[in-house]
Amino acid sequence: MEMPFSPSGALIKHPFAGLLLGEGPFRESAVPPESGAAFYVNTFRLDDPLPWKIPAALHSLPEPEDGLPPAPEIRWEAPSPDAYAQVFTEIMGQIASGRLVKSVPATPQFGELQPPHVPRELIRRAFGSSPSHYPYAWWTEKEGFCGASPETLFHQQGRRLTTMALAGTARPEDEGVFINDDKEIREHEIVAGSILSRLSPCGSVSRTPRRVLNLGTLIHFVTYLTLEADRPLPPDHWIRLLHPTPALGSQPRTEETLAQLDDWRSRLRCPPHFGAPFGLLLDGDFFCLVGIRSMYWQGRRLALCTGGGVVASSTLTHEWRELKLKRETVRHSFHLP
């Protein structure tokens, strides 16, 4: 497939409809359209007043053929552990004082894409990732982002909402100890329990037992949850109810803990869209990803951002290694060295 792409666009892989490309220019709206297609693009803080982006045209793209052009050269800078170590210490202090149970600091590695390549070429490289990943992208002429996320915030079909708790990370070869690791189990159960308690007042909820999701280069714990809602509610309601789950946000989630996380993220220079909901509304069906495993760009400057859950038993070295492991996974999903 030739690389499109229109000067502005959006792309997502939908579980049933496949790979869909929205071509700009987009009409922006505070509310979703009654019918047709609209992308939902917002920041982690949900501060875009017009998050519904209605494309000029929507195209279905064929499954990617094999074969990619050689990888573009990217000059990566070594990520600096100092700011991360400082934030980690502050989070552990908040946990020790009982004000916080969990938080998810996220930090980027910066790089410079070398000419003649442009970052939009990266989008095509994320298409061919495994069936457990959903490629997504959003771009204008000057900036954009692209990733392949294994995490859905929810999929809304009528009154049914399917969602997941995805948290707890290890290398696939460590699965034997991972499944017995109290810290990873606790990190996961904080997320699953929080989603369950947010959804329970809204209807009848069921959850699967915790299991291991193998993504090839990483494993996670995953729990799937399904809600049959008592009444139909618009996508924005569910976005605000669920985002951020403690897989990306702080537990407990209060104005104060959200503001604190915002401060940590900006000190770590985390891109504003990292971990935000990214979705597609298609005639009443709304599929929404959590925007992780991604790269962000302005001009040729790139940021590859990753985060990881911090709980009472976390250690700095372990967390720093996990961020590195996740960055390697992102590079792998973009077929980059």
Distance CA 28, CA 40 (A): 10
Q: How far is the CB of 322 from ligand ISC (least distance, A)?
A: 7
Tokens 């992308």 belong to residue? 39
Judged by beta carbon, residue 147 or residue 279, the one nearer ligand ISC is 147
Judged by beta carbon, residue 12 or residue 323, the one nearer ligand ISC is 323
Q: Does 307 bind ligand ISC (CB under 6 A)?
A: yes
Q: In this structure, which amino acid lies at residue 324?
A: K
Distance CA 207, CA 164 (A): 9
Q: Which residues contact 234 (CB under 8 A, 6 or more apart)?
A: 31, 32
Judged by beta carbon, residue 8 or residue 329, the one nearer ligand ISC is 329
Query: What is the per-residue binding string for ligand ISC in 210-249, x denoting contact by CB under 6 A?
Result: ----------x--------------------------xx-
Q: How far is the CB of 104 from ligand ISC (least distance, A)?
A: 6
Distance CA 164, CA 145 (A): 23
**CA-angle at 71, arms to 68 and 74, nearest 5°:** 155
Instruction: Restricting to residues 127-156, name those near ligand ISC by CB under 6 A.
Output: 151
Q: How far is the CB of 28 from ligand ISC (least distance, A)?
A: 27
Residues in a beta bridge with 305 = 108, 294
Q: How far is CA 79 from CA 87, 129, 205, 316, in A?
A: 15, 25, 41, 15
Count of residues that interact with ligand ISC, criterion CB under 6 A:
17
Piece of 31-39, 121-129, 161-169, 276-284 that binds ligand ISC (CB under 6 A): 161-169
Distance CA 254, CA 252 (A): 6
Q: Does 109 bind ligand ISC (CB under 6 A)?
A: no
Interacting residues toward ligand ISC by CB under 6 A:
104, 106, 151, 166-169, 220, 247-248, 292-293, 306-309, 326
